[in-house]
Structure 1
Amino acid sequence: MIIQSEKKTKRKIFEAVTTAIGWIFLVLFLFMLGSHLEWKINRNIYALSLVNSSIIILVTVIVIIISFLVLTLWGIYNKRRFGKLFRRSFPIPTEIEEIADYYSLSTIEVLQLQQKNYVER
């Protein structure tokens, strides 16, 4: 069985927006972290001085607590919503003939490609 599916446009847009927001958050977080840290070279030893270290610790603790709550609630939701489903059955393995037919190759070529460590395009 060869599985090939097309994603819906709404899903593609949602994934792109979510990914963009994640990258923006990461870049802003690293920028803010970098702005709070000052690296100084002192006798070949890097000394890290923190500006308002108590605020950094407080924000870190708040982010950890919020992350823990969100992941816990998400897990509870998934358990209630999808816990009753049993989807652990796997499809039957794809035969070499099916792969050869799908890619318009001979079975010998498919076997050779499967044995290669590097496939040229």
Structure 2
Amino acid sequence: MFFKKMDNGSLPQKVDYNLDAHLITGKQTKKKKIIEWAVTILGWVIILGFLGYIAYGNIALHNGWEVRSFLFLNEDTIHQVNKYYYILFIILLISILVFIVWKNYNKKKYGSYHRREFRPAVGTDEIAEKFGLTKEQVVEMQTQRVTILEKNIIPKDMGIGNK
């Protein structure tokens, strides 16, 4: 639910939010939509056909069956793709090894410095002072699930309280 504050000082009122009005809707002709769908379906058929042929070829080669050619796909294509997968697997292992070595190097060289520093936790006194509230109001706001404000408490210098 979205709420907006009424100018007359009343409680926030529910606002109907039409999501369709804010989505980008393309005004394509029917011809363009049909071409878009046809190209998308053709692309998926080619991708899934290639993956299916590679899977079939690997199973056929493993079991000693004959691998039939299909368009530009043949047994050499399967061997080539398997070679690429092998090379990519080796690159993946080398990358993992480099990251592990780099992590251990950084931990050994810089881990003893303990340079991470965090700001101290903000207390209710600071929050009350910044927003011009009492400490009791801040504690109440932190414990309540829903808080209805009578006026905007965000200071103008924070940038978002101007509206």
TM-score by length of 2: 0.35
* Higher fraction of strand: 1
Higher relative contact order (CA 8 A, sep 6+): 1
The structure with the largest alpha-carbon Rg is: 2
TM-score by length of 1: 0.43
